Structure 1
Amino acid sequence: MEVKQQLKRTLKASRSLNLLTVEQTNAVLADVAEAAIANTDAILSENNKDLARMDPTDPKYDRLQLSAERIAGIAADIRNVASLPSPLGRVLSETVRPNGMRIQKVSVAFGVIGIIYEARPNVTFDVFSLCLKSGNACVLKGGSDAIDSNTAIVKVIHAVLEKHGIDKNILTLLPADRAATAEILNAQGYVDLIIPRGSQGLIEFVRKNATIPVIETGAGICHTYFDEFGDTAKGKAIVNNAKTRRVSVCNALDCLIIHDSRLADLPEICSKLAESKVVVYADEQAHNALEGSYPSTLLEWANDESFGTEFLDYKMSVKTVASFDEALDHIATYSSKHSEAIVTENAERQDLFRKLVDASSVYCNVSTAFTDGAQFGLGAEIGISTQKLHARGPMALEELTSYKWLIDGEGQIRD
């Protein structure tokens, strides 16, 4: 019952957001960014409690870990969100009917957005800033792995809201237990939308068990296809960056696909991966090409599980194909529709790849590491949508709005 009561308080508080001015919203975000920096030591102290309960070799450890540098980056993202135009009140279309009735389609907030996420305390700051700027209240259901970090961050944000005279219930952190998960998944009338952020397992669980609308985000099984017309230097840099920049994120490379005519270049393309001790699961042709040049302790034979796996670790598979069409088929079979890339100097191949690959973000001669709201100029993101209804790709301010119709007249009645 306590969770239900909290959801009622959040719903009531959400209505007050409709009266905030853009200036008030931006002032709150500026103060939250400052408070995040000022409370760095306190946040890191609580984060260390969470880290102490997790095995450092767990791929989620990197996502869980905060640092002074990461908090400074989070604060910068919050300031970026504050600097962006408000997504609310935009007139999307307008018409005057023959009877003089004026009809406008205007952007509005969803109302209350629920976020279910795992060991990612940065999400707490990101979600709040994006929801506030887009006029939404938010209900957060974090995992037990990050409970101390999330609690500390919400405490900092609540203090800023109270300073500005804003109902702190516009941001709610639910308990990290399964009962709270069940409550939010079935919160009809209280929560307008659920966005899960985390593993494929979490996303599937939410999709199967929620009775309110869900936008799927997060799971990324990402490929880079090195075409027969690919530039080796570009491929080497792109593959290394996409795989090793940060292995625990959803835009990290999972599978390198290479045209069989370019197998002689595979050792050079993979050479920097060895410096990061990336384990490569190679099919027979790729394994033969890498044998003797890639460290034997890091070179494994691929099996069925090597493909279609989001590794979230220093691991990567290599698939050899005999044609461009075969590469497209492999991507279509195993992609999670997150981010897919091609390395090629052939303009026709680039055009076909853009048209034929079904993913939220399609890259030509660019690392998939750029699938990120801030990198796209959106300030920050609430997640990467891998579905097609309403939003796709990085979900930022515009994607956190719906619309309503406004009809004005002079007493018109319908025959």
Structure 2
Amino acid sequence: MAEDIEKKVITAKKASIELASVSTEIKNRALEAMADALDRERKAILEANVKDCEYAEELKKSGKLTQALVDRLKVNDSKIDGMIAGIRDVIKLEDPVGETLSALELDDGLILYQVSCPIGLIGVIFESRPDVVPQVMSLCLKSGNATIFKGGSEARESNRTIFDILVRAIESTEGMPQGAFQLIETREEVMDLLSLDAYIDLLIPRGSNEFVKFIQDNTRIPVLGHTSGICHYYVDEFADLETAWKVCFDAKVQYPAVCNAIETLLVNRNLAEAFLPKMAEMYLEAGVELRCDEDSYTLLAGKGLSSLAKATAEDWGLEYNDLILSVKIVDSIKEAIDHINTYGSHHSDGIITTSDERRKKFTGLVDSSSIMVNASTRFADGYRYGKGAEVGISTNKIHSRGPTGMEGLLIYKYVLMGKGHIVADYAGKDAKPFTHRKLDLKFGDVN
């Protein structure tokens, strides 16, 4: 088993070198072939997904799979449309490979270029969502990165079918290397994959808090990702009520099983009486379980609302991924910010306010990768951020942060162009000085 996975990884690593230099035109032709193939093979994808959904329901009954993961697994024609649209959006994006990031003259005729390039070989390990395969494959292809995919067993048929369709389309495109994209399927292969730091340059895990943390704790390969999505919305005392009701409802109810849905609602005490009762009614009618702190419980119970639960200390740090919401009344924006920075996961948090002063304070002091002002946290997504698709959402503070598209799959190299220059001329008693002058040049321009 270990030998098989290593062989696949080495094959992809070798192909990554060739893929890094494939032209934009060829890459875009391969992407168009991928989109056409998904459209053409809808029936095979849907049939494979039915098998996975049946298996997932059995796993859920035995307590081995959550409802959130079952929901993420399902594929229909609308989701296939989304996969196709995502690939075609990537076609429209500028090719980031070979972009000149800076040009610096060290001396006359000696110019240092900083040029963007692919990271190399990316390992993507994910749970449930089969749409991760076309999302990530399209971004990796456009950015010139080879990729190893490992999906969960609950989505095996869907992942295999979609992967095979896409790889056939890519490898039938003239000029594309063979073997740049590989799929592994068994749980045992994951530990083998995590040990191959000599070949794999970056890991991107997509899944639960426990899943991502396991990956981070068991590899020496750099990991791009977030362990949890504990997102908050703070309704300020200067909030517009109609905006607050609409945005806070969407941020929880529109799709609760994802990492950018809110898990805690914080409400300023001065607005709680006017805002919270109607908000609670909207949530309860939508089937949301409310876990309230003492003050919000007293307020809502006093308004005749039932089916309320009292929050425990553990609730503030939980990612529900379900129709469950913690509610807390706070005395000030400072208390809200402190709560978010203490219990949040630095993912996506928001404020409803009409005050510029409060907006600036909140956006300046909340330490999260995305901060929303009067807009739903559900916008924290690579596609919605105009990245074509996303490889994941990162709460790291190095390399890439927030919804991550192709920019998170790139690094850079330095290229020094000279004319027989030697260091000896710039050292010692009569050393020549460096000019260190910034230039408006593109790599490849005549030097």
What TM-score do you get using the length of structure 2 for normalisation?
Answer: 0.90
Helix, strand or coil for the counterpart of 2:32? helix
The residue identity in structure 2 corresponding to 1:354 is T
Following TM superposition, by how much is the alpha carbon of 1:303 offset from its aligned partner in structure 2, in angstroms? 0.7
Which of 284, 293, 296 is the equivalent residue of 2:294? 284
2:373 to 355, 364, 370: 364
Matched, 1:246 2:248: no
Equivalent position of 1:34 in the other structure? 36
What is the distance in 2 between the residues matched to 1:46 and 1:295?
Answer: 45
1:222 maps to what in 2?
231
Larger radius of gyration: 2
Equivalence map 1:312-351=2 (5 Å): 312-351=321-360
- 2:276 is aligned to 266
Between 1:321-330 and 1:271-280, the stretch displaced more is: 271-280
Runs of 4+ in 1 over 4 A off after TM superposition: 292-295
Contact kept in structure 2, 1:236 and 1:270, CA below 8 Å: no
For residue 13 of structure 1, the aligned residue among 11, 15, 20 is 15
The CA deviation at 1:61 is: 1.2
Q: Are the counterparts in 1 of residues 252 and 263 from structure 2 also a CA contact under 8 Å? A: yes
The residue that corresponds to 1:393 in the other structure is 402
- Alignment CA distance shift 1:218-1:209 (3 Å): closer
Report if aligned partners of 2:31, 2:170 keep a CA contact under 8 Å in 1: no
Q: Secondary structure at the match of 1:296?
A: coil
The alpha carbon displacement at 1:19 in A equals 3.0
List per-residue Cα deviations over 1:222-261 (Å, max 9, x = no partner). Answer: 0000111111111110111000111111100110001112
**Aligned alpha-carbon RMSD (Å):** 1.4
Give the superposition deviation at 1:275.
2.7
Give unmatched runs, 5+ long, in structure 2: 61-65, 425-447
Cα offset, 1:300, TM superposition? 1.0
Q: 1:173 to 1:295 in 2, by over 3 A?
A: farther
Percentage of identical aligned residues: 38
Match of 2:186 in 1: 176
Q: Distance in 1 between matches of 2:239 and 2:408?
A: 35
Residue 274 of structure 1: CA displacement?
2.2
State how far apart, in whole Å, the 2-side matches of 1:240 and 1:293 are. Answer: 20
Q: Which of the residues 418, 421, 427 maps onto 1:409?
A: 418
CA distance in 1, matches of 2:190, 2:285: 41
- Counterpart in the other structure of 2:49: 47
Cα distance change on mapping 1:68 and 1:168 into 2, 3 Å? farther
1:188 aligns with 2:197: yes
Question: Are residues 1:97 and 2:106 paired?
Answer: yes
C-alpha distance in 2, partners of 1:6/1:66? 28
Deviation of 1:168 (Å): 4.0
Q: 2:87 maps to what in 1?
A: 78
Measured after TM superposition, the shift of residue 182 of structure 1 is 1.1
- Number of residue pairs matched? 413
Deviation (angstroms), 1:102: 1.0
> Alignment partner for residue 219 of structure 2, among 188, 204, 210?
210
Q: Separation in 1 of the partners of 2:193 and 2:250? A: 38
**Structure 1 residues 294 and 339, CA gap change in structure 2 (3 angstroms):** farther
Q: How high is the TM-score relative to the length of structure 1?
A: 0.97
1:286-331 CA distance string (max 9 Å, x none): 112222657523x211111211111111111001111111111110
Counterpart-to-counterpart distance in 1, 2:396 and 2:281: 35
